[in-house]
Amino acid sequence: MNEIVKKDIVNILEEIVEILRVKEEKDYFELKELSNHTIHDASIFQDEDSLSIAVLVYSLSKIIERGGEPKDLLNKIQAALKFLRQDKIKEYRYTIEDIFKTVSQADIKLKLYTEEVIHQARIKKASKMYEHGISVGRTSELLGISQWELINYLGKTTIPDEPYKKGLFNKRIAFAKKLFGTK
């Protein structure tokens, strides 16, 4: 695991622990913001660990937003943090996987909902990576979703239109012309 990614994940896990220790109304917003932060590393390093944390944090935020309780997760998140600090990467990854299973198996209704939330979180995070300039194919591959699902989601957003709105398209053409010596 890259040291920069590791340090960032440690910070994120510490923030999750702080958020989950005391139940507050703003927990959803804090977790959602934290999830968006993790996309930066995922876009740069394109690694599984950053992606897993982004999806996990987003899933937790959605569960809390809809009134669910992330029961028994605080201890597991603290264990993952401990393993990561001790450079026990294999144990850390196993614990994160176990957290996903715990979230999915909370109860039958929540299980179905959580599986859908985790799937939708992957799509949402894929769209954010696409927005950061990672291709649809690579993003789909990294997050284990189909390109069709991602393209379908992107079609419902304004993300594909952003370069045109911001004038980036014209700047890119001007740069390319300058680069190749054409006017």
Cα–Cα dist 61/70, whole Å:
10
Cα–Cα dist 62/111, whole Å:
13
pTM: 0.61
Cα–Cα dist 40/171, whole Å:
24
The CB density around residue 96, as the number of other CB atoms within 10 Å, is: 24
Cα–Cα dist 121/143, whole Å:
10
Locate 79 and state its tokens. 């264990």
> Given this model, what pLDDT does residue 41 score?
66
User: What do you get for the CA distance between the two ends of the chain, in Å?
Assistant: 46
Residue-level pLDDT, tens digit, the chain, 183 residues: 888 889 989 999 999 999 888 878 788 788 888 877 777 666 666 677 887 888 788 778 777 777 766 667 889 999 999 999 999 999 999 999 998 887 776 545 556 655 666 777 778 878 888 887 788 888 888 888 888 888 888 887 765 545 545 566 677 778 778 878 876
* Residue spans per domain, the chain: 3-157
